Every structure is written in C-alpha cells, then in structure tokens.
Structure 1
C-alpha cells in the first residue's frame, strides 16, 4: 500500500500571461518521490484550447520530468481574466521495462484495482505588465484594436480557437479530456489546411523531376556519342598499327631481295683472279 504521494508538482497552478491573439506558454515540473518507476498522463477540461508536450511519459525513481502547456491564441479576453479551465495529472506505479510508447489510458483506470494518484491544477491568467490590451474604460476591460493587424502573424498553424468542448464520454475524469483524440483531430485539420500547399509543392517537385530526367537523357546521349567516337578512334588506331607492321615487313623483304641481287650480279675478285691465272697458264703451255 502506497502511503506517500508519488509526484511533487511544481508549481501547483498553470499561470499564463494573457494577450489577445497571442499564444502563452508555461512549464510544470513533476518530481518522482518514490523509489519506483511512475507513469503520468495529463488531461484538461478544454483540450481544443491547450497543447501539452509531452502529455504522457515515465519518470525514473527520484527523478524529475517537465511538460509544457501552450494556450492557443484567443480572440477575446475572458471577463476579469477569470478562467475555469482545469488540468488533471494522473500517475501510477509501473514495472521496470515499460517504454513511454506503452503508456495508455487503461493504465490509469481506477477499476483495475491499482493505485492511481490524481492532482488537479487550475489555470490562472495574468495581464502583461506593460501591455495596452487591458486598459480599464468605465470599469470594463478594453481590448486594443492594434492586435487586429497581427491576427495572421500570431495565429497558430492549426487555427485552434476557444470552441466549447463537445459532450464528454463516460470514461473522462470529472470532465477532463485526454489529448489523444484532440491531437488526432488537429492532425486531420492541419492536413486539410496544408493540402493546397502540398499539391503546389508536389507539382513543383514533379516539374523539377521531369527537367532532371530530360537533362539525364541528354547526358546519356552525349555519353553514348562519346563512347562511339572512342570506339571508332580505337579501331582506327588498331588498323594504323597493323598497316605500320605490314610496311615494316615489306621493307625487310625488299632489303633482303636487294642484297641477293647484288650477290648474283657481281663476281668475286678471287674467282676472277683464278680464271685469269688459268688462262695465262694455258696460253703459256700452248705456245712453247
């Protein structure tokens, strides 16, 4: 049986500096007082008005974890800056080895018999110290019209406004909504808003892709022409080398033939000398 509180929440309220058509953010720190792993989940009574990151997680023993709450830009200020929105932090002990992706709403169901600790935080709105947005006029708050010119600049991308929450289901705790359904609806709406821009980007990408394909085809044609030219030059070089070798062989044959002709046309000196000597001897003996 757990006798001490699992989480230490600091601060114990969410304080936002409220300005018309501007976002406001605050941070909450969760401290694990126990020696066990603790899973937590954040819920709110106005899920379309706030954005929590992360909205669920796991805290190690004696460790701390921060989550940030962003209040979406509002068109009008509430009377006297009074806000009835509330947040609920649920936590429970979990066994070692569970990852943050495994943290689900079923872990915090009280009918499961496990101990689930809950902490409620109220929302407090304060006006900026030097902001002209809240000037008392005849006992009422005055909204400065200069903020109208910055609507498009300060509006969040998903266009969330202060829309009354729909009828809540039976699984909600005292009117608190989980962020899972809220995040899914925001994603769908955001995807619808980005669809025209996405189509334009896809058209540009398709155009660029076609241009790249055309350039690639041109480069491939030039490479094929270069390969053909190189092949022709290689063939011409090979033929030239063969002709050069044939000319060398023919030249050697001509040289050999010329040497043979010289031998056949001329007579050796010794042979001529012997013939002359024999002729003289014959003439000497023939005429005593």
Structure 2
C-alpha cells in the first residue's frame, strides 16, 4: 500500500481546548505522531501570536515517534477579553529533504506543493454564562425604542425645585419693577425729609431770633406756648416721614 503524502497524525485533530480560569497561564498539549518511515519537519503558526506561546514552534519528528508541543495561553485578567472565534492554529509540515535540515531556511525555500497543512480552532472551556451571554446578546428593536423614549423624557423633564430659564427671567423682571418702585418711594421720602429739615432750620432761626429779642427787650407774652407748639409740629413731621419710609 502506498504511504500517505505525509504520515503525520495530529492530536487533537480539529480543536485546541483551553480550560479556565484564564487569570494564569493555561496550557493545551498538541501531539504530533510520525507514522511514516521518514523524518517529518513541522512548524506551528497562530492567528494571535501575542496571546500564545508555543514551545517548540518547530521541529523534526523521527519515524515512529511522537513529538509534544506545549501551546500556552497567556493570562488575560478578564474573561470578557477572550475572543475564541478569532483564534486559530495551523500546523504546516513536510518530509525532511535530508538529514541535516536547516528549519529556518527550509520554510523559505521549500516548494509549496510539498507542504501539507492542518488547521485547528481554539475552544475556551470554563467561561462563565454571564460572559457568554454578554458576548452574544443583541439589542432588539423594543429595547432600542425604550432607550430612545427614556432619553426623550430626560431631556424635556424638569426636576422638582429647578426653575426654567423663562421662569427665572420673569422673576428677575418682577424684582426689577419692585426695586424701581422702592427707589422712587425712597427718593420721594428723601425729598420730603429734606423739606422738613429746611422747615426745622427756619423754625430754629426764628427761635434764636426770639431769644435774642427777649434778652434785649421785653419778651412776648405766651412764648413758651409757641415754643412747645413748634417742637410738637416738628416731631409730627419727622414721624410722618419715617412712617412713609417703613
């Protein structure tokens, strides 16, 4: 019976399984068994080289022997960052052209027709259901509509105790009118008070003149009564002005 093109048996054949938790290095073994009669050269490649460490990533499997490769997933720190659907591995291999093979130069010079390939996808076991749900859940039209409605409400709703700009403007306008009225009232009272002070000044001048006349001549009858009346009138005027200011 004719020997297969390249008699390399890969185990597992289709999937590399990594068992969580993924907060530390997780290793999945990849076994390569040479079932032929010639040495087989291999090289392991991945679509996510920054997240995996492959030791060794290339080598030679002697006839009838099994070669074990350690595929190590680096710690992620967060299960949600694991993207299993994007991680794949490929094993490329061929028969060794001679005994002393330069593996680095081999993959650059070999005829692609002499290469064989085996692809494996990555499976992450032990992921929590919460992360799986988060990764696959999609928004429904109903949920989107609900978000839009709640956003519209939050825009047009004014919380209790918070005044709108139009209300504040109305209050400011009313306060300005009241302030103007108070200013007019205070100015009027100030004018009246000035007039009273002038009247009091005139009264004091008359009183001083009467005192002077009394010292140099006969005092008029009833002067004490006139003095009391003038003082009473002055007190009433001051009280009236102060009452208007209150």
Question: What's the TM-score bracket when you normalise by the shorter of the two chains?
Answer: 0.3 to 0.5
Query: Which of 1 and 2 has greater Rg?
Result: 2
TM-score (norm 2): 0.47
TM-score (norm 1): 0.41
